[in-house]
Amino acid sequence: MECSSVTTRGAPPAKLRLFATALIIVVADQVVKRVVVNVLELGRPVDVLGSFFRLTLTENTGAAFGIFRGGGIWFIVVSAIASIAIVAFAREIAKMRRWEQVAFGLILGGAVGNLVDRVRLGAVVDFMDLGLGHRRFPAFNVADSAITIGVVLVAFSFLFLQKHISAHVSGVPEAPEAQPERRDG
């Protein structure tokens, strides 16, 4: 008698990949934020790669990269809904490619990481600061980075590989591409 789990030995099940990725991001995000809060002074930049990349502790009451500041409860609700939606669709996500599962794990982990800050602190801890001179990109964190990478991967998949995703979600296999008929003769 053959066991079906033998075929997946050595590879984590798809849902585990999704949730393990999310857990790794949440833990990394929270650990790094805790260190940053304990080491840096609020608003005082520390150069890492000259002034191009520096660490500057900030508190963000808005969305990713500081947009829509002061959103308060609205961002808690949006983060919670996004997280719940990904968990609710975990079975469908598990049917996707491995890198797509990881992409959704990055989004889930980032959303939860920032949600923890919003609930615990009332704001998100940001600290990565990029730019030249006075032209600076808004400060961000590990969770923001994970969300951004995850969204870019999902968008790429949606825009360029939509046919494949639709087949996975609907359960209908992709139709083989039409081959020209061969005529002998």
Catalytic residues, by residue number, are 126, 144
The H or E element that residue 75 is part of is helix 73-88
| 3-state DSSP assignment of residue 60 | strand
Instruction: Give CA–CA dist 156/100, Å, rounded.
Output: 10
Instruction: Give CA–CA dist 156/96, Å, rounded.
Output: 14
Q: Are 127 and 13 in contact (CB under 8 A)?
A: no
Nearest Cα to 115, choosing from 95, 85, 143, 92? 143
Residue 48 in tokens? 């890492």
